[in-house]
Structure formats: C-alpha cells, structure tokens
Chains A and B, each alone.
Chain A
C-alpha cells in the first residue's frame, strides 16, 4: 500500500470525525426558529474536492451514521445513504480541480459550486426522499419537501463554507517550486 492511500484512509477517519463534531456541536441558528443549519456539508464538499469520491462517500456514510448513533435514533438509512451519494457525486469534482497544488481560482469556484448544486439536488431531491418512500413508505409530499428544504440549506452552507475552505486551503498551500527554505 502506498503512503498516498494511507493518507486517504486517515483523511476518511479525520473527515468523519470532523463531520461528526460539526454535525453534533456546531449549530448555526437558522431563520426558522428551533432549527439549525448543518455546517458539515461545507466540510464534506471540501474534503471531496481534495480526496475524491471514495473518501467523500465514506466520510459522509461514517460521519452521518455516527451522528445518528450518538443521538440514539438508530440509523435513518435513507439519509445516511444520501450523504454518501452526495460524497460520491461531489468527489467527482476532484478530477477537475488541483486543490492539493494550491490552485483554486474564479473558474474553479464556479466549477465547485456547480458540482455541489447538482450533487445536493440529486442527494436530497431524489435519493433521500425516494429511499424514504421505498424503505419506510412515508408520504411522498412530506419527504420531497423535507428533502427540498434540507437540500436548499445544504446548498447555501456549502456555497459559503465549502468555498471559503477551498480558498483558504489553496492559499495556505505552498506553490510548486516556490519554496526556498525548509518548512
């Protein structure tokens, strides 16, 4: 096994831990009383852009499952799977970006956001509600509305936090061949 794949595995573990901590403890009050905006999808989108679809899927799957376990309401499989699907789809953007090399320009911001828009739309607009209907026989209008509200909130958080993270990360990366001294 090359060190690169060890790094991906560690990224999955740490990514899932971050996803968990953000999901459980970083609550931003939303405009709707008593509801919070989940910041963890901004993080997930960033990790996807950096580490690709497999890591993205597993971070979403493990992180979301751990959150559900810690609340004790079991595994709401349909939404856990939707998080994983978002990870896969969003991870596809990694092939079009060179985030690890510190590149994230205006064009990349657009690409990143187009991908997250599509990935959230599919994950929460289709996958989660359809699974809710198939697995739990829940009423269609309820689950599609839930999916739409959740998806929309996730799109907003990802657009702000995900983009901020990518920009900050790219800026913090040393550019190829530009270093003169160690560290």
Chain B
C-alpha cells in the first residue's frame, strides 16, 4: 500500500505569461490509498499544483518547470497527457463545463468512447460505474434535469470509469448546498475505501471538507507548501488563520473560551474531538459571561410579497407555490435552500425578470405590477453571481455609468453619481482602468457599483462570495455590511451557512417553491426539521454547545456571533 502515485521534488513552475514563478520548491508525495486535502487562499498556487498533477501543465498551459515530478514513477513528458489521464482522474469545479454528453450515460461513456471500447463492454461499464456513484436510475437524463450534486456524481463516474489510481477534486464543495456537499464528501470517502485509489481534494472550506477523515492537510501560501501534516496537528496550531484559511467554528469558539487545542484532543471534527471536563467548563463559563445579544428592532415593511405563484412554462411544475414574505427597511437577509427551491426564481420575480401568474408585490405599499424591468431597477437592484455576466464596457467608469446613460441623465450628474458609487466601493483610484485589469473580487465591486449608481433601496445579490477565499470573502461582506449601515436593504442568495450565520440577521428558507422558514439565522441553523427539509447543515457550534452541556444551544450560537462581530471589528 505504499506505492507512490505522485512525487514532487524541489518542483517549481512559472507560466509563460507571468513575470515570476507560481510554484516554488514543492516537495510532496501522495501514495496509493492516501487521502490528502490541499488548502490555501486564492493565488496560493493550489490550482496550478492541480494542473501539474493532471497534466494540463505542461500540455495545455505552457511554462517553465524546475525540479522533478513523477506520476506513477514516470515523468509527465514520458507519459503524455493521455498517459497521465490513465492514472489521474480529475473532477473539475465547473460541473456544467465538465458535463460533455447530452445525457448522463453518454457523459460517463465519454472516456471509454475515446478509448474505442465497444459494446457490450461499453454499456456494461457505464452501468456499473453509474451504480457505484448512485446515479444509475438517471442514465437517460439531460444535464438540465439534474441537480448540482447529481452533476457532480456524473463527473465522478466519468473519471472513475477508467479505473484511475488517483482522484483529484478541484473545489468539490463550491457549487453545492450544505447537505449535498456533506453527501459528496461522504461519497468520496466511501469510494476511496472501496477502490483503494488515492484522493486529493483541493478546497478552502476546511470545516466542510474535514467532515470525513483525511490523512494529511497540505497548506499552501505564496506558491509554497507551508505545512504538510495530519489535520489534528494543523488545527492545533495557528498556521491556518495566519494564512487566510478559516478554521472550523467550534475550534474558534474553543479558543475564545480559553481552551488550548492540542493534537491529542483530535480536533479534526466536532464528533471525534475529545473534550475533558475542564474544557467543557471553560466553554460554559465563557457562554455565561457573554451578554445576551440584543433583539432586533422591528423596522417598517418595505417590500411585501403575497401569494406569489410562478411557473416557467404553462403546465410545468410551479417554481413558486404561493410565497408570502415581508422585507423590512434596512435589514440584511439571506435566502437559502437547495437548487430549484425557488430562491432565484423569487428574486427574478421581484426584479420583474419574470412575471408571476398570481399574487402581488408591493414596494412601500405601492403595487409593482405593471412596472417594467427598468423601472423596477430604480428601486431594486440585482447583482448576478458571476460579474463577467454583467460587464459589457471596457472602462470601469463607463461600466458604472451605463445605467445612467441609458436613462438619459445629464453627463455632469453622471460624473457626480459615478464618483460617489466608485468611492463607496473603493474603486475611485481605478476609475480610468480597464475592467479587465481587476481581480474577480474587484469586478464584483464594479457590478455592485453599477447597481448602486441607480440608487436602489434594495439590493439583491446572488451568491456574493462564490469562489472567494476567506480574505476576499470577508472583504466583500464587510463592504456589504457598510452599505447596509448606510441604509440599503440587502438580500443575499447563498449556499454558504457561515456567511448567513455571520452576516445575515434573518434567514428566508425556501424548499420546493415554498417559504418554509422565516426566522433569525441562529434559529434556522439549529432547527433539525428545517435543516433536513431545506438541505442545510447544522452548525458545529450547536453541537459544541450540546457537548459542553449547554442546553440553550441556540443562545450559544447567537452570543458567539455577536462576540465574534465585536472581536472582528475591534
């Protein structure tokens, strides 16, 4: 069981288009049957490392390599891209881009077709592999009929059909709702046990990725490997937080309570962790010493939805089955739920992108019915998940000014308003830059600025932090919080439970086209029934509270968040 699949020795890499190397002095070995988690902030080189493992470097992305890398004992050049793909199967982050076939079965068959495997073996192996990942009842389904989790299973089957030695996952949790992400980690673990293949998972959501045990965590930063050790050791030290990776919430809570984390406590998961009486008492004392967080002030109603019903085509399943809710002025709310639960549809109906078949929408008491998309946008702004889907102008200034120019606002007023929006978004120094020179997070700010400039009262954001590491995530969220303090009502659609817990006051939980819960976040994330129905995940803080003998788990979560806000602000 000690066969080496991957061996990096003093390996370095520099892309042709870049002026400095991306990877420095990498030493890393992965053996058969091992499970390794690679974590690190954006730009740390973890994607580049993945490209080196699966052969896209050097065969698709050009650059200069130093040191040595062997895959199953051979160099990349000796194996070629196709030779490497026999050993390494990659599940990409973008499950739509990876889904090449018109149906599930065709997609799983893709690698075999390229290998000229003929029938009956072809059908046989597709069926067997589909069974392995539990997608065999959906063989004739098209990708648009599948959920995100199902697409990921297809992607997994598509690489497992070749009996590879190593499975490489690039951010497998990025597009999944919490419960599906948990199931994905479980599936990866089970398959690894069954097949004995090595598994490498690249993921910055450490707590979720550690839901099942891993052998080692490799922490990267600045193109180097900073740590390569068992999770228990890594979680005991301070390396994670120092390098922009968020440690699990229960660990943070324990540290706040003054508990020292050591490897022999097995901190890798809240279930496995050994907590002695002393630690539990410290947590209880910490909890009792914290003030109860102040209840929210009830503001006046701003947007009222009543009995909204909508289906995309006549006769099709209803995407909204009578949704009623009220948004209050100046609040920060999160909309959560699975894919297809109706959360995006709800936002689209609110913005007038789609028109409901029944029900009413009122803004400050006035019916929105009959207002065009453009007219509604003067009150309600919508920011898409991917900023690249909104940006159409070359220069930042023009991009932000676009909505004003189409509204025939005089040019000197445009200058003023754009300046204000850019200043709020911290983009004023870049006003004369091309948008393409900005980072992903900055582009996101540009899209927010281009909405702000229209002075809406409500801003709806679809997954505002998708694909962001902890530092950028915090940056974006603090920015949204500052907007919220200026009086904007902010609604976020999200899969990220941490995000919702930390920043939103209120959670609107959708499931099957209905609103099934409308309550403070701490309440929602500790309610087993809502969690199960909406495919959410209980927060580990709650489990920690219970383990420490605190019966008011909900209160514990609330006070933790309030405390952390203060610590973070300080």
Interface size band for A: 10 to 19
Which chain A positions have C-beta within 8 A of B435? 172
Q: Which residues of A contact B439 (CB under 8 A)?
A: 183
Task: Indicate with 1 or 0, residue by residue over B37-63, a CB within 8 angstroms of chain A CB atoms.
Answer: 000001101011000000000011000
What residue in chain A is nearest B388 (Cβ atoms)? A172
Contact with A183, one of B43, B60, B394, B434 (Cβ below 8 angstroms): B43
* B17 and A179 form a contact (CB under 8 A): yes
Closest to B46 in A: A182
Count residues of chain B with CB under 8 A from any CB of chain A: 22
Query: If the complex has contacts A179-B19, A182-B43, are A173 and B436 also in contact, measured as CB distance less than 8 A?
Result: yes
Interface pair B18/A179, CB less than 8 Å apart: yes
Closest chain-A Cβ to B110's Cβ sits at a distance in Å of: 13
A180 touches B394 (CB 8 A): no
A75 proximal to B (CB < 8 A): no
Beta-carbon contacts under 8 Å, A152-173 to B: 167-168, 171-173
Partner of A177, one of B19, B22, B48, B60: B19
User: Cβ of B394 and Cβ of A167 under 8 Å apart?
Assistant: yes
B20 interfacial by beta-carbon distance below 8 Å: yes
A141 lies within 8 A of chain B by Cβ: no
Q: Contacts A177-B17, A177-B19 given: A183-B440 contact, CB under 8 Å?
A: yes
Asked if B551 CB lies within 8 Å of chain A CBs, one says: no
A176 within 8 A of B: yes
Does A171 lie within 8 Å of B434, measured CB to CB? yes
A183 and B42 within 8 A (CB) = yes
**B64-82 contacts to A (CB < 8 Å):** 81
Q: Of A2, A173, A176, A179, which is in contact with the most chain B CB atoms at under 10 Å from its CB?
A: A179
Return the chain A residue nearest B436 by Cβ. A172
Across-interface contacts of B19 in A (CB, < 8 A) = 177-180
Residues of A within 8 A of B42 (CB): 182-183
Does any Cβ of A come within 8 Å of B474's Cβ?
no
- Does chain A have a CB within 8 A of B392? yes
Could you give 12 example pairs across A and B, Cβ below 8 Å?
Answer: A2-B59, A3-B60, A171-B436, A173-B436, A178-B19, A179-B15, A180-B20, A181-B43, A182-B18, A182-B42, A182-B43, A182-B47
With A180-B18, A182-B18, A182-B45 known, 12 other A-B pairs at CB within 8 A are A3-B59, A3-B60, A168-B392, A171-B436, A172-B436, A178-B19, A179-B18, A180-B19, A180-B20, A182-B42, A182-B47, A183-B42
9 shortest interchain CB distances as A-B pairs: A172-B436, A3-B60, A182-B43, A179-B18, A171-B394, A181-B43, A182-B22, A171-B434, A171-B436
Chain B residues with CB under 8 Å of chain A are 15-20, 22, 42-43, 45, 47-48, 59-60, 81, 392, 394, 434-436, 439-440
